[in-house]
Structure formats: C-alpha cells, structure tokens
Amino acid sequence: MCGRFAITLPNDAMAQLFAARPANDLPDVPNRNVRPTDQIHTVISDATDRRLAPMRWGFVPVWYKALNDGPLLINARAETIAEKPAFSEACRARRCLIPISGFYEWTTGADGKKQPWYIAAQDDAPLALAGIWQDWTRGEASVRSCAIVTTAANEALKHIHHRMPVIVDAADWPLWLGEAGKGAATLMRPATDGLLKFEARAPE
C-alpha cells in the first residue's frame, strides 16, 4: 500500500535526473504530503522521447462514466496487475515512473494510537516508483491518471506494513518505460532490504 508520499526535488532537477523533457504545467514542489487525486510528477516515454509530465494520482478505467464512478484506484497489485481488466492493458503498454523523496505508512500501537512512518532511501536520494497510466475522456472532460504498482513488503518493512511500492533501480528505468524491449514484469519485486530507512514522522 502507498497512500501518501513526499516529493522535494525541484522540477528542473527531476527532468535532469531522468533525462526527460519537462512539461510546462508540472505540480509545485516541494510537497511533503502528496495525497490521492493530486496532480503528481510522472516520467513517460515513447521509446524516443522521455517526458516529465503531470498526472492525476488515482487511475480512472476507460469504462468509468465519471471520475467517481467506482473505487479510487491509487495502487495496482503486482501479483494481479496483468489479469485485472482495469490494469492489464496499461501494464503492457502504458508504464511510467513516479519520482518521490519518500513515502508514508502507519502502524497501530497496543493503545490503538496510529504511528506515522516516513520511509526513504538510506542516502536520501530520490526514488522512482513503478506506475501505470491511462487516458480517460467523457465529452469535453479529459484526464490522464496513474496508479502506483505495489508488491509484498521486504523483510525490513514488514514490521510497518505488509505491502510496499515497487521501486525501480536507475539501471532498469529503460526496461520499465518500454525503451529496452520486454521483461518489465521481472522488475515487480520488493526492494532490497538495505535500500530504505524508517523515521517516525507524520506528513507535513
């Protein structure tokens, strides 16, 4: 599960990091409390042109008659993504990267109180999450939306949550974006245990 995250990297630095051409209408940064339905940064590619572009976080299947016509699909499970009607075509043909600085999860203590955790790279480097995207149109309304791909948590994260976003290593960005042929399904796995650190901190 991934329901909140932070992005603090400036737009020009994001474009440079991913060697992507930035759109003119990117969301403002920093944003340390990105929520579902917000516009977020994504990296997409048609194999010859990488672009840093905004999308709505919350995947809208093509058959929805309105944006709220069904569940808010902010995550897509790696184990079933290829079989789900909402996600299967996007998984094959419309994959994206979602740059973040870190994400949040919550645990519940014995007293019933919720403890927020901020999870980021050990070296505070930006993370690139695996995503899928979809164009949706009804009449004059048009939305480009996305979901974060999740998988089972690694051993280091299991004490906080049983799911985690799929984190794509820089060397694998071309494969996930469809620039390096087939085999992207092999990337939908938990991160290595030493990649992340955990801090007891709430979204700002």
- Mind telling me the catalytic residues? 2, 105
Contact 31, 41 (CB under 8 A): no
Residues 59 and 176: their CA atoms lie apart, in Å, by 18
Question: Residue 118: is it exposed, middle or buried by C-beta count within 10 angstroms (0-12/13-18/19+)?
Answer: buried
Q: Give whole-number Cα distances, 167 to 110, 111, 115, 120, 189, in Å.
A: 31, 33, 23, 11, 8
Give the up-direction half-sphere exposure of residue 197: CA atoms within 13 A in the CB hemisphere.
9
What beta strand segments (E) does the chain contain? 4-7, 21-22, 31-34, 39-45, 50-57, 75-77, 95-100, 102-108, 114-121, 127-138, 141-152, 163-165, 196-199
The token duo for 127 is: 């993370």
